[in-house]
Structure 1
């Protein structure tokens, strides 16, 4: 199944790059939280949904680009969670830092994760306790987190907040890199970076695939109170996450 999901992510990524590299019309609108959404997001979403329905028609799907009755979703113990174009702002800025995210949730935990960065043609994947990086099709290597005396801290390129500034003032020795989309999780998982702190709210589709890959590579993803992010919808009242950090420590 993992190979099929990786192939599906590549297919969606190829479609995204067709828009990225061409003069095709990109229609931009804005959600209630003032984040952009485009026809590219919807097109990638349709590709992934169609593919998942052919792979596992019995497993429901939750996507960032669609609306759901939470009262119905909360009864699902297993479900697909997708963000068809994570980093729409970066896509529109044309800096390449956007990804396709697909994850499988089983009893509240992300057990399979796939993140594909089509601009860089790099794919990260995980299944339970194993994580891999595929630099190009067919060249796949296992990845693990790595500690460093001077940790590389990854922060969001498009989000900044007072809590992050306060957090940085308490850090003694560190290097800082700003990056868009779920690539921040990937750098933790491959051992390039050591910590990704996030203080503002996110949604479960923003974190699940990265969460799966980081933990499979030996890292951790915790809320600031030290708990695991729980994807069990029966214990939630919305799709929103509180702040968290991903770490190699």
Structure 2
């Protein structure tokens, strides 16, 4: 279904009229701010960390936030199927059609457990294999990034009202600095392939960061490239990818094609990718 024909079902919109990417992103942002309250309540207490069957960590914050997000999405965007990380971990990973929502209730659970603040709530809209709207919210930092037709950032506390558009800062990727690139690396995942890739580039500075914050840093012109060769899932990347694309950047796979979503045959796993700000900096 083309995005322009998605029906508006939220009470704050005119029912029956077309809905755009920015309207979807606004809904995502309001839901993420609400989920942030539950996440931060767990952050301030015992989070009951445990391991999923795939050995990745999970805690109460993941499950509480996902429950809130799924309930709100069902009420406000009932026409859109949703694939969420914790539900998928329990075998609920079926989505129908080419338009659906991806949810990662706490991206960067390791960062959450280490209490460094570098974790996010991610909600992204996929249409025909591409991310068209997304929200990344870092509740411990009070930072929100929104991507639709354009990309914006603002400061807002968990549970607070979403700031109106005039109180948000429009963001855009930067041209590759002539003095060298700033590269972002995963704080919790490193590998020799990343080192080999970065050795090809004129890197001036390297920084480590957690979760989808790396996409957002490239989107707002604070960094230039973020390579990831280890395994990720589509819900890990969709929201940040949407924001970066809205800000003028791109996320490319190993064949230098835009990263695709809805990979049912791969069980929604991503292959290697590189997030770029300036297209002119891409290694050919």
For the structure 1 residues 170 and 66, does the alpha-carbon distance in structure 2 shift closer, same or farther, using more than 3 Å as the test?
A: same
Q: Does 1:201 align with 2:239?
A: no
Q: Distance in 2 between matches of 1:233 and 1:77?
A: 10
Identify which of 266, 271, 279 aligns with 1:237. Answer: 266
Structure 1 runs of 4+ off > 3 angstroms?
none
For residue 69 of structure 1, report the CA deviation from its aligned partner: 5.7
More strand per residue: 1
Deviations 1:32-63, CA, capped at 9 Å, x for gaps: 33210011100000010001001111211100
The yes-or-no answer on 1:140 pairing with 2:161 is no
Asked if 1:115 corresponds to 2:136, the answer is yes
Q: In 1, Cα distance between the equivalents of 2:245 and 2:123?
A: 16
Q: 2:58 aligns with which of 28, 37, 46?
A: 37
Aligned match of 1:7:
30
- Secondary structure of 2:199's counterpart equals helix
The alpha-carbon distance between structure 1 residues 69 and 99, as it changes in their structure 2 partners (threshold 3 A), is closer
CA distance in 1: counterparts of 2:182 and 2:82, whole angstroms = 35
Task: Note the aligned Cα RMSD (angstroms).
Answer: 1.5
1:180 corresponds to: 210
Q: Establish whether residue 102 from structure 1 lines up as the match of residue 134 from structure 2.
A: no
**SS of residue matched to 1:65:** helix
In structure 2, what is the equivalent of residue 210 of structure 1? 240
Gaps of 5+ in 2: 1-22, 157-161, 279-284
Say if 1:145 and 1:217, in contact at 8 Å, map to a contact too.
yes
Compute the TM-score of the two structures, normalised by the length of structure 2. 0.82
**TM-score under structure 1 length normalisation:** 0.93
Number of equivalent positions: 243
Query: In the TM superposition, what whole-angstrom CA distance separates every residue of 1:43-98 from its partner, at most 9, and x where no partner exists?
Result: 0000100010011112111001113465x43x321111000000000000000000
Distance in 2 (alpha carbons) for counterparts of 1:14 and 1:202: 26
Query: Residues 177-229 of structure 1, C-alpha deviation per residue, up to 9 Å, x if partnerless?
Result: 00000000000000000000001111100110011000110001000211111
